[in-house]
Structure 1
Amino acid sequence: MTRTVDAQSTDLGMGTVMTHRASGKYAEEALRAVGNEAVRLEELLSRFRPGSEISRINRSAGLKGEKLSADTYEILSCAIEFSRTCQGFFDVTVGHLVKLWGSFQNTSKPPEELRIKQILPLVDYTGLVLDPCEKAARLQKAGQSVDLGGIGKGFAGDKFLEVFKKYGVSSAFTNIGGNVVTLGTKPDGSPWRVGIQHPRLEDSLMGFVSVVDKAVVTSGDYQRYFIDSNGKRHHHILDPSTGYPAESGLVSVTIVADSSTVADALSTILFVAGMGKGLGLLRRFPGAEAIIVDMGLQVYVTEGLRNCFQAGEGINVMF
């Protein structure tokens, strides 16, 4: 008889708290391997790590290309494809713009408009050129900078699933700072229930979505932000076309998809694009569904989630 082990762990990594649960004969070994995978990916992909491949690309901007590992080349290829497909609402070359805005903590005013205008021409994903033969990448303009904040945790979630499967785990749940990825069902055979944070009530949920083998990722204006002296909220999701926080009429976008990478990128893309354009773009990704909250706190849920989204008390939902 096969011994089944239920195990869980909590780690710090990728600038956030990560929690993992797994069930299977080698669940504990799988969790250790996932922890090691998180460290490996951060060392490859974080622009905050001077020795990472992303940092090497950024330092070589305008000078030369850099040979890459298979994982770094893969995520950059995905990022460029999202930018092409989604009309530039997503741009992986926002590194200097993100740095200019800072952490959105311990501040109460935005950067100077002149500085934003100076940096904006460097935000151009077409300047990130990949060489499929050499598995290399180069930034064409000096001063350009790659930042994987809108896709990196999603990519890591997919890689964690690969590790779980390698260890024969058939039931797992990973939460990377709010980016949730599920493998199979819960050990008892029921779907995983993932809570959707209320964007204006800190300890409250908009509702739950029940999922099996899905990723659930939310982008919202409440995650990192500051309020300026005029009472205006400035959040961390930047519009690559303006250099300022996106003003699309939305406060929260949750994507449910088979791929964590897709869910992560699309949550940002729809948030920046807004309701109308965003839903049009969503249709280009079969199987991806959305839960969208607008400025009036009206919740919109796409048809594919009708039978698996449960609204919280007092929450009005439109399908």
Structure 2
Amino acid sequence: MTYKRNKYMALTAIIVVCVIFLCSCVNNYSSVDPISKTEYMLGTICTITVYDDKKDTVIDKAFNRIKEIENKMSVNKSGTELDAVADSAGKNFVKVSEDTFYVLEKGKYYSEKSSGAFDITIGPLVKLWGIGTEHAKVPSQQEINEKKALVNYKELILDEKSHKVMLARPGMSLDLGGIAKGYSADEAARILKEEGVKHAIINLGGNVIVINNNVNGNPWKIGIQNPFEDTGEEMGTIEVTNKTIVTSGIYERYLEKNGKKYHHILNPFTGYPMNNNLASVTLVTNVSIDADAMTKNIFYLGVDKGMKYVKTIKGLDAIFVTKNKEVYITEGLKSNFHVDNSSFTLMDGK
């Protein structure tokens, strides 16, 4: 049995930030060299690049904010506020920070909107499978049934007045891996803007935010990961200004046993990885935390239902890539998305 991790694979199994205007544009239109920093946070490779005349401390402030969020709600660290909530499950309320409470509120909202297809109480199942860790395994049906019974967003109790939280039954736990990166990206963008940054790319392992246009006044060109490659190869590009681009795909983390791959996007209803014809879903919108949470539900819905769902939400667009390399896009991306890889076929709508 093998498992795949993304710790040392920058831009592998994530959106590839293709700075297609590259250094030539920076040199032609600006005398300022970009500053960039990469760190491993939130269980993935995180890179922030600023194209303004700013000091490195600007990026440091953004990373410090991400670290602050990670220390409160990452499943990759021990002693977090989520651990405290799990330890008190079925017993007591736990007071959490404003950050954690906000993300839990958002998480429960999107859990409700998806009728549980996205469920932030999926912690027991995520830990059981351990995909992306050294402890990854294919659990028995009995193990899955036991942990699946502990997943129910309706049993997350939130006291808004006191910022206290409780899970209703012992053994329950939270997993914010499907939403915390989005919040972190939004907060990093807020910090940069407050520091006067006008041109930047934030890439938190599949959650990308671009600030304004690039330095020559044109939209950023962002590469969309080829979901069948581990090398950061793109399958297409999208041109965007002041947007977030968030991708979920079956290539990000997986384990392989007896020739079968099990990806990390779990179905709360079955306890197994989601199984449909999709290889990846990319959402394009204004707020990263919203896109982060919605990708899992839209992935679960598949192309037909997912496309219909996206059309009901103002300001939201999507790119669906199927396992047979068909690409479907929503109307808002007709003029700014391009398939660059000849093995993929852009289909005529849904």
> For the superposition of Structure 1 and Structure 2, which TM-score range results when normalised by the shorter chain?
over 0.9
What is the deviation of 1:206?
1.3
Match of 2:116 among 71, 80, 88: 88
Aligned match of 1:7: 35
What is the one-letter code of the residue matched to 1:135? H
CA–CA distance in structure 2, aligned partners of residues 27 and 212 of structure 1: 23
Q: Deviations over 1:214-242 (max 9, x none)?
A: 1111111111112321x322100000111
CA–CA distance in structure 1, aligned partners of residues 118 and 305 of structure 2: 13
SS at match of 2:227: coil
CA–CA distance in structure 2, aligned partners of residues 141 and 109 of structure 1: 25
Q: Deviations over 1:97-133 (max 9, x none)?
A: 0000013466885111100001111110001111111
SS at match of 1:274: helix
Residue-pair matches, total: 316
Match of 2:330 among 286, 302, 305: 302
Match status 1:103 vs 2:131: yes
Higher relative contact order (CA 8 A, sep 6+): 2
SS at match of 2:109: helix
Q: RMSD over aligned Cα, in angstroms?
A: 1.8
SS at match of 2:38: strand
CA–CA distance in structure 1, aligned partners of residues 222 and 113 of structure 2: 28
Match status 1:271 vs 2:299: yes
TM-score, with length taken from structure 2: 0.86
Aligned match of 1:74: 102
SS at match of 1:240: coil
TM-score, with length taken from structure 1: 0.94
Match of 1:130 among 135, 158, 161: 158
What is the deviation of 1:27?
4.9
SS at match of 1:24: coil
- Asked if structure 2 preserves the Cα contact closer than 8 Å seen for 1:73 and 1:135, the reply is yes
Aligned match of 2:210: 182
What is the one-letter code of the residue matched to 1:207? G
What is the deviation of 1:31?
0.3
What is the deviation of 1:181?
1.0
What is the percent sequence identity of the aligned residues?
35
Aligned match of 1:245: 273
Match of 1:209 among 234, 238, 241: 238
What is the one-letter code of the residue matched to 2:224? I
SS at match of 2:34: strand
Match of 1:164 among 176, 192, 201: 192
CA–CA distance in structure 2, aligned partners of residues 50 and 222 of structure 1: 27
CA–CA distance in structure 1, aligned partners of residues 139 and 312 of structure 2: 35
CA–CA distance in structure 2, aligned partners of residues 164 and 44 of structure 1: 21
What is the one-letter code of the residue matched to 2:66? A
CA–CA distance in structure 2, aligned partners of residues 195 and 24 of structure 1: 22
Aligned match of 1:23: 51
What is the deviation of 1:51?
2.4
What is the deviation of 1:69?
1.3
Match status 1:288 vs 2:316: yes
What is the one-letter code of the residue matched to 2:225? Q
